[in-house]
Structure 1
């Protein structure tokens, strides 16, 4: 018996088949194109995401011994997607969470920020979905008229995928994704009319919100690879990773090292507010209606900085090569890199900040710059950890967690152990766990906890606080707030 997990990420789609022991038995992956129509703008073609989903699932299922009993979905969050309710065709490209075009709208609405934060646990930043919808209403009125008329649906990537998989029968989302839109009330657990009015979003165009595990709908065979399978779990990628890391107790914390890095700590049944740049968000909701909350530090560029070294500068041939290159020098030689390539996220929150490299001398080599990039990732995570409840152990996952040097630098900088699991694709694993709970593959979270296996534990060593102070100074120089 297996569960199909779909992880629709920012640069590609991963599909995993997970068995009852929580082991990955097969996988598929398919990239899709990134579009940058203007500086600071990032878009994805929804049809490309859908075709990548089909391709990744086709690959994962090719070697399957049997048909999966259920499907779970996890996704890049905050990305604004529109599609025709009848044809399911997208009238324009999706506006991605990394997109900065709505910075001006955020400034315009700044007088409302205290109220928005009170209701949502978030802040006014281009990161979140609602301002993207506001921008579309202002700049593409013909398109928006079809939204107002009920012909075009609004959603995030999760709800778009469910619409495609069910041939348009279902328009649904879950609380973890809804809580990232600036339209969902943390206390009310639903779309807030006050927020819909503020951002000019028709409430009837938004999806129905359902608990994170339970029946979301069935795939239609003609739409989804000839399969009729229940969709029984769904969560935004970072909450899914928290679930996949079995962080079920208050105080449990994980960091996912992907395109960006996201540190989440389970805060239990009460939303905990932060005045230090952290976000209060829904982790997941049980079918009983009970909500679990999390505090989150969202860092926009970490793994993407390594990709930039590869694709933009040509300093490395592949992301894994960064470990070997950086390992040829004992430190960064005084080079500091602030990878604010799409602004700064937590705890600084400066959408106008731009990347900065300092400390270059005639003796600087590519190895120093690559090492400075790995150090920057660890420093960014430490920035967030400094304003979080005290961390005793950090569970690490995501693609860059395979980098042993990075994980050791991270343990040193945090002063706590970093634990990496055997299955590092915990975002997709969390989707599988949620779907399996929703379908009865697993009976409880306690049963799921027993499937978690340690790959390696990195113990903290000497901490280079001088390098961290150089980093903090460089961040102030990169920030428009300084």
Structure 2
């Protein structure tokens, strides 16, 4: 396949490129700048395909799709169920955008410093940096293009598209055409990623993106362990823990679900497969971390505490991501706008507000990505003059408070930090970070010490077998880590 790429017999594109190619009956070979920026071969700082990466792969530029603005007249649908027969006006394709960027657009994160958090299978945090790209590689954040727009249904663009619709379509790389796209006849202001050079539009937004792979998978892991049967039961268990004041009963902050850095995750999983690790010990290990401060025999109180610790780790992970942004770039959002299925938990949203000490706004839109794609297409079709007009018109945030004395009640969409719990959550966050660092050090030490040595350390300390009902100190809280 690589040899065919080098000979110009294969074209490269992601899913949106394939859909566009099929819908236009092979007449348009292009992608948008938001999808290109997360392909791994696009340089968001120069807004064109990365020369070093393309050269390193040994492939020609000609096999790559043209990069267009997100809101743009790409062409017309000429095949499939949306094809309009006869002389009736054809349906235009006026928008393409990545899913995370679309959700960020829906949440109206247009200005620098505004943040969108998606809690689904994973955690995805996007912060707007305005018209300039930024990179925080030490903090685990990478730059992506959010969205860009161009002239909407201008006469020049429409005329060019009509002319191209009768062209034979894509020129196979190696033929007389230097770029494999029927939209090459467009004005150069419509191109953002040719081999020549970057051309910026007047409306382009860059984002910083950071992610954590396991969020919804943590909840599925808890259910697979038999801790709850339904999401309603899970929410009730979290609320029951509040009624029992479990946060105050555990002043030593000894029970945590501590996460493993991605670089050490494989070593963590290999350690759990050691023959010296028992089935009970493996039960404490989740998809990307391990439970600490809890014994092997789980009482009802233990189950409540475990559920709280695992769900709380989602909020603690978000706090760590935000702290890294503050430290590395001075970016500190004043509000978190949250969407995704996991955000339906009122308890988690309130805990997130308490841990981060900033208001949390839960989205009222279930399908944020779909709505963002509709906004993109609407701007491209000229329905709205710009993105701000679109989001300002359709958003309609209700901004109800989640305080008990507010009319918002349990169904409120906005959650404010509880001033009484913020100091306690800050203490738990510090202990959690310490526990994560301790376990990471132990995983790194497995390079120098034999697994048998680690097992002997585990057997020499019976603290790991303690029940949760017994009080533990801060130092004891990390002792169960010796099982690894």
* Mapped partners of 1:323, 1:182: distance in 2: 39
| Counterpart pick for 2:257 among 312, 324, 337 | 337
Structure 2 CA distance for partners of 1:200 and 1:366, relative to 1, 3 Å: farther
Question: Which secondary structure does the structure 1 equivalent of 2:80 belong to?
Answer: coil
| Counterpart pick for 2:210 among 271, 285, 297 | 297
Structure 2 CA distance for partners of 1:481 and 1:198, relative to 1, 3 Å: farther
Which residue matches 1:367? Answer: 304
Question: Which secondary structure does the structure 2 equivalent of 1:267 belong to?
Answer: strand
Which residue matches 1:271? Answer: 133
Which residue matches 2:336? Answer: 394
Which residue matches 2:426? Answer: 465
* Mapped partners of 1:158, 1:182: distance in 2: 15
* Mapped partners of 2:381, 2:80: distance in 1: 23
1:407–1:418: 8 Å Cα contact kept in structure 2?
yes
| Counterpart pick for 1:244 among 79, 86, 106 | 106
In the TM superposition, what is the alpha-carbon distance from 1:178 to its structure 2 partner? 1.4
* Mapped partners of 1:167, 1:475: distance in 2: 53
Structure 2 CA distance for partners of 1:166 and 1:309, relative to 1, 3 Å: farther
Structure 2 CA distance for partners of 1:384 and 1:405, relative to 1, 3 Å: same
1:305–1:339: 8 Å Cα contact kept in structure 2?
no
* Mapped partners of 2:60, 2:264: distance in 1: 28
Q: Give TM-score, length-normalised by structure 2.
A: 0.62
Structure 2 CA distance for partners of 1:294 and 1:208, relative to 1, 3 Å: same
Normalized per residue, the structure richer in helix is: 2
Q: Which has the higher contact order (CA 8 A, sep 6+)?
A: 2
1:302–1:339: 8 Å Cα contact kept in structure 2?
no
* Mapped partners of 2:59, 2:355: distance in 1: 43
In the alignment, does 2:358 pair up with 1:416? Answer: yes
Which residue matches 1:128? Answer: none
* Mapped partners of 2:430, 2:258: distance in 1: 13
Which residue matches 1:450? Answer: 393
2:70–2:148: 8 Å Cα contact kept in structure 1?
yes
In the TM superposition, what is the alpha-carbon distance from 1:271 to its structure 2 partner? 1.6
Structure 2 CA distance for partners of 1:250 and 1:326, relative to 1, 3 Å: same
Structure 2 CA distance for partners of 1:446 and 1:285, relative to 1, 3 Å: closer
In the TM superposition, what is the alpha-carbon distance from 1:319 to its structure 2 partner? 4.5
Which residue matches 1:96? Answer: none
Question: Which secondary structure does the structure 1 equivalent of 2:48 belong to?
Answer: coil
Which residue matches 1:108? Answer: none
* Mapped partners of 1:217, 1:306: distance in 2: 43
| Counterpart pick for 2:63 among 198, 205, 216 | 205
Question: Which secondary structure does the structure 2 equivalent of 1:396 belong to?
Answer: strand
Which residue matches 1:229? Answer: 91
Which residue matches 2:401? Answer: none
Provide the aligned length of Structure 1 versus Structure 2. Answer: 334
In the TM superposition, what is the alpha-carbon distance from 1:313 to its structure 2 partner? 3.2
Question: Which secondary structure does the structure 2 equivalent of 1:240 belong to?
Answer: helix
Structure 2 CA distance for partners of 1:159 and 1:371, relative to 1, 3 Å: farther
Structure 2 CA distance for partners of 1:250 and 1:305, relative to 1, 3 Å: same
Which residue matches 1:315? Answer: 227
Which residue matches 2:452? Answer: none
* Mapped partners of 2:444, 2:104: distance in 1: 32
In the TM superposition, what is the alpha-carbon distance from 1:423 to its structure 2 partner? 1.3
* Mapped partners of 1:366, 1:467: distance in 2: 19
Which residue matches 2:464? Answer: none
1:326–1:367: 8 Å Cα contact kept in structure 2?
yes
| Counterpart pick for 2:318 among 377, 381, 397 | 381
Normalized per residue, the structure richer in strand is: 1
Q: Give TM-score, length-normalised by structure 1.
A: 0.63
Q: Unaligned stretches of 5+ in structure 2?
A: 152-200, 269-287, 326-330, 399-412, 446-484
2:13–2:65: 8 Å Cα contact kept in structure 1?
yes
Structure 2 CA distance for partners of 1:280 and 1:349, relative to 1, 3 Å: farther
1:253–1:393: 8 Å Cα contact kept in structure 2?
yes
Larger Rg: 2
